[in-house]
Copies of this chain bind each other. A is one copy, B any other.
């Protein structure tokens, strides 16, 4: 019942991205160095975050990562499930592979399900924005993007440069 190192890495990465004053892409290498995360392991975590639709990745020179949503739209539940898979307190229910002989008659499973539901609700109500605001080094310029801009990125930078 403890936050894994992997999840810690993921949250720190998102904090780092969320704190960027502009939406430029950040190199994985920069994150790894700044956050003291093994680069080759971070690569894996990043992939999971991309796959979950939380961050945005770009190849090649000037490539890197950026948030795909506003910090206030990213919940801890999303981040948790991006790296750990679906949040389940106990495996016996909703799990095809499991085969506990007591499944059909167990008060415990019910109870854990209720706890699970409450925990999920808690995590759904905490956003990356909340986490960043709690950070002691709170940047003056926090990333705030219009929903319309969510998918613009390199293009934006290109236009800005001309």
**Number of chain copies forming the complex:** 2
Interface SS of A by simple majority: helix
Does A84 contact B122, Cβ atoms closer than 8 Å?
no
Does A108 contact B12, Cβ atoms closer than 8 Å?
yes
Contact string against B for A residues 1-22, beta-carbon threshold 8 Å, 1 for contact and 0 otherwise: 1110000100110010000000
List B contacts of A111 (CB < 8 A).
76, 126, 130-131, 134
CA distance A106 to B110 in the complex (A): 36
Minimum C-beta distance from A1 to chain B (A): 6
- For the complex of A and B, the 5 pairs showing the least CB-CB separation, nearest first, are A107-B135, A107-B134, A105-B136, A110-B134, A3-B90
22 pairs from A and B in contact (CB 8 Å cutoff): A1-B87, A1-B89, A1-B119, A2-B88, A2-B90, A2-B91, A3-B89, A3-B90, A8-B90, A8-B108, A15-B108, A36-B101, A76-B111, A105-B136, A105-B137, A108-B135, A110-B134, A111-B131, A111-B134, A115-B123, A115-B126, A119-B119
